């Protein structure tokens, strides 16, 4: 019982491997955040250690221990959390973390049948750390399975990719997510429809939203902020830009997420404008979308989408965040009015 | 669980098993020590998933039970209690209550069923060795094992059991140490396993004054070894893989053979190493009739030159070694005298203590311009 929603190709590949005893020594799971990489990795760890004939059963002692994260032979390696006296967290998985597992690779499993090392966020490995793994991945040790998870495959060294079996986990179709939310998590239909579309095919994200209401509230707040700024004048927009970049240095992700949200909004505006309202993401705000779509012409909408994408790219390339956001504020669609603040 | 035991016994037991408590781990429960009642004794267990140590202490058990508690916390508390006092322990829910003299503590624990299962070795190859010989073997061999993980099998010590002989060997690619010791109980078949260096170091530390023999068991699929002492058991995982065939690396003949005093030789090598620090540790030896010259030089700092009395047989010879490898081996020898055999500047040097044929040490030379 894999109990994985979607990812049929990946699951059947692993099932065949289990049946024929051809489980690879290393897998690279590629897919967007929250798509189900860790879920699949843990299932695979259960499968290779499961004691019952139908693997993974999810019922035996080994499966239960793995699910609780208490199995001695399953190790999850990820970015170390910052210690209390450190302000910023580590940005890389260090050589030391890798060396520790290299030592344990050569010892037999402690209680199970296979040792499984799950490295979450492989793109965070420093080059030196990745290189330390090469020899181990090249000369596989029996009874050891490496599962490397990454959201950004282009940052994983080619030398690593070529030593692993690569499995791509694509985003799920939103109707599959909607159905899963309805049947398994018993979410009310309207919310399920919205979350399925907002999740961009990542079930884990939608489930997080179901379990934590504040996240959906946060999305609403963020969207309201943007919408409030949209018709306002430059002064207000610049105040808003300053507010956006305030905590940029502590956490870069928040601003990126806010931009993604805004980008998504304008994608919907474009869809409504071109007469495809059935494919929009923000289904709960269709009215506002229609209203905004009516206010701007197609060229403006398209141009603004490009600008949001540019801002997002520039932030990733370490441009000055304040400048990037201010430029974006200047470039808001102007609804036929004069577009320059300098008169 | 309800029992009482003596402070010094518990404190000693905890200090023994805490050597096996995990330091950096992905499994938090391995930071704990498990307390289990075992008939009229208390068993303390710790593991870092590479080895597991169990130690038994005498206790008056009133009620059976088990719990795991943070190892550091418990041992720090127990160590601070007045010596010679009785400690009463009682498990209430998942909290361990300790009472000793007028001190009391409550420690929150984790259920013992979550503790990694300690492997059991009931069958397999079983033998035993004398403590003194094993100690010497560990001291003279383990330091030669590789410290880095690039060749995993070399990080351990190769142990070959054959007839009534145990051969311990360690190598790191530049040196090889081989020690032979007798088994108290002959084994039926030849068995070769690789024991992690750390296990042997811990074992060395474990061996108390009152021990005479150590019982040794390897499981049939050679993944685990059990070392059994009077009150302590150490189960260790074994390194998987094949150890290089080292017997062919030991030169069978030599062109020059020098016999020197270990202490003198060690002193000269240590001195030469001071100057050799800058220049990749190169220490040069020149063997000529009646003496060995030990020298080293650094282009910028200067040089040193030492002469020792030696009985040199064969031709004159020149050879250079990394000074660290010489001082490492010379400092673990117990004998008064040692022989150094060489053939030419590019073949390995062989060091044997005089009067004991149980130990051989082979060091690769360094290539230098003379």
How far does B223 lie from chain A, in Å, by closest CA? 6
Query: Which of B50, B116, B155 is facing A111, going by the closest CB pair?
Result: B116
- Chain A residue closest to B235 (CA)? A110
Based on the fold, state whether residues A148 and A236 are members of the same structural domain: no
* Pairwise CB contact (< 8 Å): A103 & B239: no
User: A235 φ, ψ to 5°?
Assistant: -55, -50
pLDDT (average), residues A321-343: 74
Considering the domain boundaries, does residue B57 fall inside one?
yes
How far does B152 lie from chain A, in Å, by closest CA? 7
Higher-pLDDT residue of A211, A335: A211
> Which of A64, A70, A71 should we substitute to test contact with B (largest number of B Cβ atoms within 10 Å)?
A70
The distance between the two most distant Cα atoms of chain B, rounded to a whole number of Å, is 78
* Pairwise CB contact (< 8 Å): B50 & A111: no
Could you report the per-residue pLDDT of A77-102, keeping only the tens digit for each?
888 776 665 555 667 888 888 888 88
pLDDT (average), residues B65-71: 94
| Per-residue confidence band for A343, with pLDDT thresholds at 50, 70 and 90 | very low
Based on the fold, state whether residues B47 and B132 are members of the same structural domain: no
Q: Looking up tokens 């931009």, which residue turns up?
A: A259
Distance (Å, rounded) from C-alpha B272 to C-alpha B295? 6
Buried b (16+ CB within 10 A) or exposed e, B183-222: beeebeeebebbbbbbbbbbbeebbeeebeebbbbbbeeb
Based on the fold, state whether residues B241 and B132 are members of the same structural domain: yes
pLDDT surpasses 70 at A337? no
| Per-residue confidence band for B84, with pLDDT thresholds at 50, 70 and 90 | confident
Q: Hey, which residues does A146 pair with through a beta bridge?
A: A26, A117
Rg (CA), chain A: 23
| Per-residue confidence band for B112, with pLDDT thresholds at 50, 70 and 90 | very high
How far does B324 lie from chain A, in Å, by closest CA? 25
Considering the domain boundaries, does residue A291 fall inside one?
yes
**Does B119 reach chain A within 8 Å, measured CB to CB?**
yes
What was the pLDDT predicted at A341? Answer: 47
Mean pLDDT of the residues in chain B: 91
ipTM above 0.95, yes or no: no
pLDDT surpasses 90 at B321? yes
Could you report the per-residue pLDDT of A229-247, keeping only the tens digit for each?
888 888 888 999 998 888 7
Based on the fold, state whether residues B231 and B129 are members of the same structural domain: yes
Considering the domain boundaries, does residue B348 fall inside one?
yes
Considering the domain boundaries, does residue B368 fall inside one?
no
Residues of A in contact with B241 (CB under 8 A): 106
Based on the fold, state whether residues B287 and B298 are members of the same structural domain: yes
Residues of B in contact with A105 (CB under 8 A): 152
Based on the fold, state whether residues A221 and A278 are members of the same structural domain: yes
Residues of A in contact with B116 (CB under 8 A): 72, 110-111
Based on the fold, state whether residues A33 and A155 are members of the same structural domain: yes
* Pairwise CB contact (< 8 Å): A70 & B27: yes
Residues of A in contact with B46 (CB under 8 A): none
Based on the fold, state whether residues B7 and B106 are members of the same structural domain: yes
Distance (Å, rounded) from C-alpha A117 to C-alpha A130? 14
Based on the fold, state whether residues A98 and A218 are members of the same structural domain: no
pLDDT (average), residues A293-309: 90
Distance (Å, rounded) from C-alpha A167 to C-alpha A160? 14
Based on the fold, state whether residues B179 and B254 are members of the same structural domain: no
**Does A234 reach chain B within 8 Å, measured CB to CB?**
no
pLDDT (average), residues A289-299: 89
Domain that holds residue B185: 125-247
How far does A190 lie from chain B, in Å, by closest CA? 41
Task: Show Cβ contacts of residue A11 under 8 Å, excluding neighbours closer than 6 positions.
Answer: A2, A4, A40
Based on the fold, state whether residues A158 and A28 are members of the same structural domain: yes
What was the pLDDT predicted at B166? Answer: 94
Could you report the per-residue pLDDT of A184-213, keeping only the tens digit for each?
888 888 888 888 888 888 898 888 888 888
Based on the fold, state whether residues B229 and B318 are members of the same structural domain: no
Task: Show Cβ contacts of residue B70 under 8 Å, excluding neighbours closer than 6 positions.
Answer: B31, B32, B33, B107
| Per-residue confidence band for A338, with pLDDT thresholds at 50, 70 and 90 | very low
Looking up residue B184, the CATH number of its domain turns out to be 3.10.150.10
**Does B251 reach chain A within 8 Å, measured CB to CB?**
no
pLDDT (average), residues B239-260: 91
- The number of folded domains in chain B is 3
* Pairwise CB contact (< 8 Å): B196 & A104: no
Considering the domain boundaries, does residue B119 fall inside one?
no
pLDDT (average), residues B139-147: 94
Distance (Å, rounded) from C-alpha A225 to C-alpha A229? 6
Distance (Å, rounded) from C-alpha A320 to C-alpha A303? 22
How far does B17 lie from chain A, in Å, by closest CA? 18
Collapsing DSSP to helix, strand or coil, B245 comes out as: coil
The single-letter DSSP state of residue B368 is: -
Domain boundary among B247, B278, B295: B247
Based on the fold, state whether residues B106 and B183 are members of the same structural domain: no
**Does A279 reach chain B within 8 Å, measured CB to CB?**
no
**Does B300 reach chain A within 8 Å, measured CB to CB?**
no
Based on the fold, state whether residues B62 and B141 are members of the same structural domain: no
How far does B204 lie from chain A, in Å, by closest CA? 21
Distance (Å, rounded) from C-alpha B16 to C-alpha B289? 52
Based on the fold, state whether residues B165 and B177 are members of the same structural domain: yes
Considering the domain boundaries, does residue B120 fall inside one?
no
Domain boundary among B95, B114, B133: B114
Q: Please list the alpha-helical segments (H only) found in chain A.
A: 8-20, 37-49, 61-67, 95-105, 127-138, 158-161, 174-183, 189-198, 203-211, 213-229, 234-245, 252-273, 286-295, 298-316, 321-330
**Does A131 reach chain B within 8 Å, measured CB to CB?**
no
What was the pLDDT predicted at B279? Answer: 72
| Per-residue confidence band for A335, with pLDDT thresholds at 50, 70 and 90 | low
Distance (Å, rounded) from C-alpha A82 to C-alpha A237? 34
pLDDT surpasses 70 at B46? yes
pLDDT surpasses 50 at B80? yes
Based on the fold, state whether residues A143 and A24 are members of the same structural domain: yes
Q: Looking up tokens 């069958």, which residue turns up?
A: B123
Higher-pLDDT residue of B61, B24: B61
pLDDT surpasses 60 at A36? yes
Collapsing DSSP to helix, strand or coil, B105 comes out as: strand
Domain boundary among A101, A133, A168: A168
Query: Which of B24, B114, B240 is facing A70, going by the closest CB pair?
Result: B114
Domain that holds residue A317: 212-330
Side-chain-side CA neighbours of residue B109 (13 Å)? 29
CB B136 within 8 A of CB B334: yes
Based on the fold, state whether residues B188 and B266 are members of the same structural domain: no
Considering the domain boundaries, does residue A254 fall inside one?
yes
How far does B121 lie from chain A, in Å, by closest CA? 13
Residues of B in contact with A111 (CB under 8 A): 116-117, 119
Considering the domain boundaries, does residue A117 fall inside one?
yes
CB-CB neighbours of A192 under 10 Å = 21
**Does B150 reach chain A within 8 Å, measured CB to CB?**
yes
Based on the fold, state whether residues A22 and A102 are members of the same structural domain: yes
User: B219 φ, ψ to 5°?
Assistant: -75, 160
Domain boundary among A168, A193, A221: A168
User: A78 φ, ψ to 5°?
Assistant: -145, 180
- The number of folded domains in chain A is 2
Based on the fold, state whether residues A155 and A219 are members of the same structural domain: no
Considering the domain boundaries, does residue A112 fall inside one?
yes
Considering the domain boundaries, does residue B137 fall inside one?
yes
Distance (Å, rounded) from C-alpha B195 to C-alpha B223? 10
Domain boundary among B81, B114, B147: B114
Looking up residue A65, the CATH number of its domain turns out to be 3.40.50.300
pLDDT surpasses 80 at A331? yes
Based on the fold, state whether residues A130 and A268 are members of the same structural domain: no
Could you report the per-residue pLDDT of B169-211, keeping only the tens digit for each?
999 989 999 999 999 988 888 999 999 999 999 999 888 777 8
Considering the domain boundaries, does residue B369 fall inside one?
no
Based on the fold, state whether residues B242 and B140 are members of the same structural domain: yes
What was the pLDDT predicted at B94? Answer: 92
CB B362 within 8 A of CB B179: no
Considering the domain boundaries, does residue A178 fall inside one?
no
Considering the domain boundaries, does residue A248 fall inside one?
yes
> Which of B152, B222, B238 should we substitute to test contact with A (largest number of A Cβ atoms within 10 Å)?
B152
Considering the domain boundaries, does residue A259 fall inside one?
yes
User: B361 φ, ψ to 5°?
Assistant: -130, 125
Based on the fold, state whether residues A28 and A152 are members of the same structural domain: yes
- The angle, 0 to 180 degrees and rounded to 10, between the axes of the packed helices A321-330 and A298-316 is 180
Q: Hey, which residues does B215 pair with through a beta bridge?
A: B128, B228
Distance (Å, rounded) from C-alpha B191 to C-alpha B199? 18
Considering the domain boundaries, does residue B157 fall inside one?
yes
Based on the fold, state whether residues A163 and A217 are members of the same structural domain: no
């Amino acid at each position: 019982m894999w109990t994985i929603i979607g990812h049929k190709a990946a699951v059947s590949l692993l099932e065949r491997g289990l049946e024929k005893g051809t489980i690879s020594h290393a897998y690279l799971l590629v897919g967007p955040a929250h798509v189900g990489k860790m879920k699949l990795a843990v299932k695979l760890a259960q499968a290779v250690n499961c004691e019952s004939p139908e693997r993974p059963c999810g019922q035996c002692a080994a499966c239960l221990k793995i699910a609780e994260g208490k199995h001695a032979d399953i190790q999850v390696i990820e970015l170390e959390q910052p210690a209390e006296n450190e302000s910023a967290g580590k940005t890389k998985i260090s050589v030391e973390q890798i060396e520790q597992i290299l030592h344990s690779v050569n010892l037999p499993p402690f209680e199970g049948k296979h040792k499984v090392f799950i490295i979450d966020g492989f793109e965070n490995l420093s080059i030196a750390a990745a290189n330390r793994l090469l020899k181990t991945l090249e000369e596989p040790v029996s009874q050891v399975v490496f599962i490397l998870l990454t959201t950004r495959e282009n940052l994983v060294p080619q030398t690593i990719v070529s030593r692993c079996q690569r499995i791509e986990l694509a985003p799920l179709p939103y109707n599959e997510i909607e159905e899963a939310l309805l049947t398994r998590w018993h979410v009310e239909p309207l919310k399920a429809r919205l979350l399925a579309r907002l999740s961009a095919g990542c079930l884990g994200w939608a489930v997080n939203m179901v379990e934590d209401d504040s996240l959906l509230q946060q999305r609403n707040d963020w969207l309201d902020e943007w919408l409030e700024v949209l018709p306002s004048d430059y002064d207000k927009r610049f105040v808003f830009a300053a507010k956006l970049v305030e905590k940029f240095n502590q956490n870069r992700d928040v601003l990126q997420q806010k931009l993604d949200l805004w980008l998504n909004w304008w994608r919907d505006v474009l869809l409504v404008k071109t007469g495809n309202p059935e494919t929009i993401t923000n289904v709960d705000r269709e009215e506002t979308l229609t209203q905004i779509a009516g206010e701007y012409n197609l060229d403006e909408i398209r141009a603004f989408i490009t600008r949001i994408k540019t801002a997002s790219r520039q932030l990733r390339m370490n441009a000055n965040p304040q400048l990037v956001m201010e430029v974006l504020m200047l470039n808001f669609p102007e609804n036929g009015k004069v577009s320059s603040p300098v008169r | 669980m309800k029992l009482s035991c003596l402070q010094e016994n518990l404190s000693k037991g905890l200090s023994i098993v805490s050597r096996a408590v995990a330091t950096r781990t992905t499994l938090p429960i391995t930071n704990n020590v498990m307390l289990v009642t075992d008939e009229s004794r208390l068993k303390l267990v710790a593991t870092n998933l590479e080895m597991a140590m169990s130690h038994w202490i005498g206790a008056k058990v009133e009620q059976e039970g088990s719990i795991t508690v943070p190892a550091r916390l418990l041992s720090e508390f127990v160590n601070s209690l007045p010596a010679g006092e009785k400690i009463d322990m009682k498990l209430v829910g998942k909290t361990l209550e300790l009472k000793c003299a007028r001190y009391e503590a409550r420690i929150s624990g984790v259920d013992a069923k979550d503790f990694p299962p300690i492997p059991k070795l009931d069958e397999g190859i079983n033998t035993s060795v004398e403590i003194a010989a094993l100690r010497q073997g560990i001291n003279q061999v383990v330091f030669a094992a590789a410290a880095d993980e690039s060749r995993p099998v070399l990080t351990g010590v190769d142990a070959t059991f054959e007839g009534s002989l145990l051969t311990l060997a360690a190598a790191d690619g530049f040196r090889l140490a081989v020690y032979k010791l007798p088994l108290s109980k002959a084994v039926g078949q030849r068995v070769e396993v690789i024991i992690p260096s750390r296990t042997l170091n811990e074992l060395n530390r474990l061996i108390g004054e009152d021990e005479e023999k150590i019982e040794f068991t390897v499981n049939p699929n050679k993944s685990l070894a059990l070392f059994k002492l009077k009150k302590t058991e150490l189960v260790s995982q074994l390194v998987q893989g094949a150890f290089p065939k080292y017997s062919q690396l030991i030169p069978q003949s030599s062109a020059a053979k020098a016999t020197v005093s270990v202490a003198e030789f060690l002193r000269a090598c240590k001195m030469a190493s001071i100057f050799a620090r800058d220049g990749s540790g190169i220490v040069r030896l020149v063997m000529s009739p009646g003496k060995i010259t030990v020298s080293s030089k650094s282009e910028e700092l200067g040089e040193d030159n030492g002469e020792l009395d030696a009985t040199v047989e064969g031709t004159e010879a020149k050879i250079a070694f990394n000074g660290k490898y010489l001082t490492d081996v010379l400092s673990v020898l117990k004998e008064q005298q040692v022989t150094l055999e060489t053939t030419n500047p590019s073949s390995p040097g062989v060091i044997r203590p005089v009067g004991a044929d149980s130990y051989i040490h082979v060091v690769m030379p360094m290539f230098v311009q003379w």
